[in-house]
């Protein structure tokens, strides 16, 4: 299987070249990603525990789903694709905010989306080992009590989303 290609971007998020994933990560080049916060109708938000085999931040809790924007793809195309691949659900996504690339986002320009779905979740076992539906106030308390349990990107996005 060919290695995934990413668009490398400049400080303004303009594409400057396309390189293999491993090269982009090895050189810590700026690239793109999405995160989706999925909510049920009762207001609970889905979070997942990353697989212990993940390259970055293994075995910590993070967004409902997330992923890299592939070369030639847009943020708006990536979010529903990642949600379907990682969670097995197809739901409308709404962009919330774009975050500049920084160390907390692993040098990724990141667009945060939300989605609402009561569909059963079919978690991708290669991506995650556990999922939890929690009220945002419960997640907020957990992030305050034990921030080390979460990925740096999730902490940045969740705190901004909650206005903390």
Q: What tens digit of pLDDT does each residue of 67-94 get?
A: 999 999 999 999 999 999 999 999 999 9
Number of independent structural domains in the chain: 1
Instruction: List the CATH number of the domain containing 138.
Output: 3.90.79.10
Structure tokens at 88: 């097995």
Structural domain span for residue 74? 5-162
Q: Of 147, 144, 149, whose CA–CA distance to 164 is shortest?
A: 144
**pTM to 2 decimals?**
0.95
H or E segment and range at residue 160: helix 152-162
Tens digit of pLDDT for each residue in 104-118?
999 999 999 999 999
Q: State phi, psi for 119 to the nearest 5 degrees.
A: -65, 150
């Amino acid at each position: 299987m060919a290695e995934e290609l990413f668009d490398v971007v400049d400080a303004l998020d303009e594409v400057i070249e396309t390189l293999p994933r491993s090269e982009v990560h090895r050189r810590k080049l700026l690239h793109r990603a999405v995160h989706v916060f999925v909510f049920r109708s009762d207001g609970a938000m889905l979070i997942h525990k990353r697989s212990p085999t993940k390259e970055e931040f293994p075995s910590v809790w993070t967004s409902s789903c997330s992923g890299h924007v592939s070369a030639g793809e847009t943020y708006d195309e990536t979010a529903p694709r990642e949600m379907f691949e990682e969670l097995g659900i197809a739901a409308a996504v709404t962009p919330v905010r774009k975050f500049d690339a920084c160390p907390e986002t692993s040098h990724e320009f990141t667009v945060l989306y939300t989605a609402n779905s009561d569909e059963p979740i079919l978690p991708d076992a290669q991506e995650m080992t556990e999922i939890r539906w929690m009220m945002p106030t419960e997640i907020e308390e957990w992030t305050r009590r034990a921030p080390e349990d979460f990925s740096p990107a999730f902490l940045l996005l969740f705190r901004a989303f909650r206005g903390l």
